[in-house]
Amino acid sequence: LHKVTINVVARHAGVSKKTVSRVLNNESNVTESTRRKVQAAIDELGYVPSVQARALARNQSFLIGLIYDNPNASYVADIQKGALKVCRQRGYHLVIHPTDHESSTLLEELEELLSTSRLDGLILTPPFSDRRDILQLLQQRHLPFARVAPTQTASGSVDVISDDFDAAKKMTEYLISLGHQRIGFIKGHPDHPVSEQRLAGYRAALQAADIEFKADYVRQGYFNFRSGEEAARKLLSLTPLPTAIFASNDFMAAGVLKVASQKGLSVPHELSVAGFDDSPISRHIWPSITTVKQPVEAMAEQATDMLLAVIGRTGDAAPITHFVDSLVIRNSTAPAKA
């Protein structure tokens, strides 16, 4: 079995290789009859163009990078899935790049990734979406990029965002509607800008309901289980006790559940608990956790789509797409006792 190249196809179809190339790239100036003839040859021979050769000739790599640092494996999996879906359709490969956002050599590491891989574009996820130093690096290299869930605008970027402020506000309003007045809050990691937005949503809901904001009821967390546990210990030693705790993600909410259980506080009867992210754990724990669901996969898909549009100078899609979060009510929340 001989290797099928563009030359073989050209000969088979009785045209020049350039014409085959035109058909491959869907260029406009080809007669319909020629196109069909070429297509027939392609199908018949089972020809698949070599990405490698294409990459060299066009000085592209057909590689898209995905940068993340997220302990939430299912979030990462969703992001990957969304990005992959689009990449596959369009003949790109996804280069995943898990990395440590606190690393002091992050920028150098990124520069190396860019120069060795020659990526055609990059997808940034939190907390990288808002890292000025990274954005600057990409801009001066003229490397197209898309950002998932940034909080600040940046020139020349395409973004997908969801309204975490609004989601946190809605969740807090929901708790208030259940009769809760003393609602504890566990903040997210300070390096993640969404943390502030979620807190702001919480505060806005309190204010709208004329409930006094008390700093005691807010503790710093770091998006992991242990920090949720520690924050919960503090919150659950307050007097009067909060009747509800809203954690900025599900891992921390799981930590609250543990502490409540150890203290003999029954959830949701004596304490309501809410989380954020709709991670698998929110379903796999008992009581299951009321939380906020983001359309993460769809967001990644859209981000990738917009990025490829920029790379291919295709349609000029709107530079920002909005997605909406939704509340998922489960078993960890109930009306406050009278």
Partner DNA sequence: GTGAAAGCGCTAACAA
Partner DNA sequence: TTGTTAGCGCTTTCAC
Which residues sit at the interface with DNA, rule CB under 7 A? 3, 5-7, 14-22, 24-25, 29-31, 33-35, 47, 49-50, 52-54, 56-59
Question: In this complex, which beta carbon is closest to its own copies, that of residue 152 or of residue 261?
Answer: 261
* Whether the Cβ atoms of residue 304 and residue 86 lie closer than 8 Å to each other: yes
Residue 153 burial class via C-beta count within 10 angstroms: exposed 0-12, middle 13-18, buried 19 and up? exposed
* Contacted entry of DNA, its own copies, none for residue 261, CB cut-off 5 to 8 Å set by kind: its own copies
**Could you say which residues in the range 243-282 bind its own copies, by CB under 8 A?**
251, 254-255, 257-258, 261-262, 280-281
Q: Is 181 in the site for its own copies (CB under 8 A)?
A: no
* Contacted entry of DNA, its own copies, none for residue 237, CB cut-off 5 to 8 Å set by kind: none
Residue 92 Cβ, how far from DNA at the closest point, in Å? 14
Question: In this complex, which beta carbon is closest to DNA, that of residue 87 or of residue 336?
Answer: 87
CA dist 3 → 8, 13, 48 (Å): 9, 16, 10
Helix (H) or strand (E) holding 186: strand 183-186
x/- binding map, residues 42-81, to its own copies, per CB under 8 A? ------x-xxxx-xx--x-x-x---------xx-xx--xx
Residue 151 Cβ, how far from its own copies at the closest point, in Å? 25
Closest CA to 20 of 3, 4, 35: 35
Angle between the N-to-C axes of helices 6-13 and 32-45, in degrees from 0 to 180, rounded to the nearest 10 = 120
Question: In this complex, which beta carbon is closest to its own copies, that of residue 52 or of residue 239?
Answer: 52
> Cα separation of 104 and 310, whole Å?
31
* Contacted entry of DNA, its own copies, none for residue 93, CB cut-off 5 to 8 Å set by kind: its own copies
> Cα separation of 285 and 268, whole Å?
13
* Whether the Cβ atoms of residue 146 and residue 307 lie closer than 8 Å to each other: yes
Binding site residues, its own copies, CB under 8 A: 48, 50-53, 55-56, 59, 61, 63, 73-74, 76-77, 80-81, 84, 91, 93-96, 98, 115-118, 225, 251, 254-255, 257-258, 261-262, 280-281, 283-286
